[in-house]
Amino acid sequence: MELGKVKMTFFQGLGWLSIVLGLLTLLFINISLISGYQVPLMDNFSLLLYPAIISGAFSSFNKRSRSLGLWGLGLCAYIGLFIVCMFFLGWMVIPFP
């Protein structure tokens, strides 16, 4: 009974961690966009993004923390989509090397 509770707390913790890391990455993206600094996205955000993906993936294995894990993974997927879009669209709209 106690082991089950610890397990649940652990997975829920991973889920929350995934969400918080995803939100932190989003916050940094917002700061870089608003401030106008050309921050190389992948280099700086991967430190937050990879742990967010891993913790989100682990958290989604457990039934009771799955919603948190999927939420974290959703945030990571959105950030990934944003990076890919900005890379390819940026390549299309800015004709200079």
> Residues 14 to 33: which contact another protein by CB under 8 A?
16, 19-20, 22-23, 26-27, 29-30, 33
Q: Is 4 near another protein (CB under 8 A)? A: no
Q: Does 9 bind another protein (CB under 8 A)?
A: no
Any alpha helices (H) in 1-97, and if so which ranges? 2-35, 41-59, 66-93
Q: Is the dihedral of CA 49, 55, 60, 63 positive or negative?
A: negative
What does the binding site for another protein look like in residue numbers (CB under 8 A)? 16, 19-20, 22-23, 26-27, 29-30, 33-34, 36, 71, 75, 78, 82, 85-86, 89-90, 92-96
